[in-house]
Amino acid sequence: MEIFKRNILIFFTFCAAFLACVDPYSIDISSSKGYIIIDGVLTDLNEPQFLTIFRTSENAQFKSSEFTSIILAQKKESIPVSDANVKLIVDGTQSINLEETLPGYYYLPDNFKAKVGSTYQLWFQTSNGKTYESPLETMLPVSSIGSVREEFNKTGVKKYPTSDERISTNDFYVDFQDNPSEKNFYRWRWTQWETQKYCETCSQGRYYLYEDENGENGTCYRDLTLNYNNIFDYTCGTSCWDIFYSSDINIFSDVFTDGQLQKNKLVAQIPLYQSNQCLVSIQQMSLSPNAFRYFKLIQDQSINTGTLADTPPAPIKSNVYNKDDTSELVLGYFSVSSVSEVKYMLTRKNATGAGINALFFAKNNRLPQPEESSVERLDIPLAICKKSLSRTPIKPAGWQIQ
Q: Residue 77 has what pLDDT?
A: 65
pTM assigned to the model: 0.84
What is the pLDDT at residue 72?
Answer: 47
- Within 10 angstroms of residue 384's Cβ, the number of other Cβ atoms is 21
What lies within 8 Å, CB to CB, of 61 at 6+ separation is: 28, 29, 30, 73, 74, 77
* pLDDT exceeds cutoff 60 at 118: yes
pLDDT band at 312 (very low <50, low <70, confident <90, very high): low
User: 71 pLDDT exceeds 50?
Assistant: no
Residue 384 DSSP symbol: P
Q: Cβ atoms within 10 A of the Cβ of 280, count? A: 21
Candidate from 113-117, 244-248, 284-288 with smallest mean pLDDT: 244-248
**304 — pLDDT class (breaks 50, 70, 90):** low
Yes or no: say if 284 and 177 are a contact pair by the CB < 8 Å rule.
no
Which pLDDT score is estimated for 309?
A: 52
| 8 Å CB contact between 283 and 47 | no
Residue bearing the bigger pLDDT, 307 or 172:
172
Distance between CA 198 and CA 384 in Å, rounded?
A: 9
Mean pLDDT (the chain, rounded) = 87
Residue 12 has pLDDT above 90, yes or no: no
> What are the backbone angles phi and psi of residue 166, rounded to the nearest 5°?
-120, 155
**pLDDT score for 393:** 98
* Average pLDDT of span 79-91: 97
| Tens of pLDDT, residues 358-373 | 999 999 999 999 999 9
Is pLDDT above 70 for 11? no
**Among 325, 352, 400, which Cα is nearest to 169's?**
352
Of 80, 114, 67, 75, the C-alpha closest to 94 is 114
pLDDT at site 21: 34
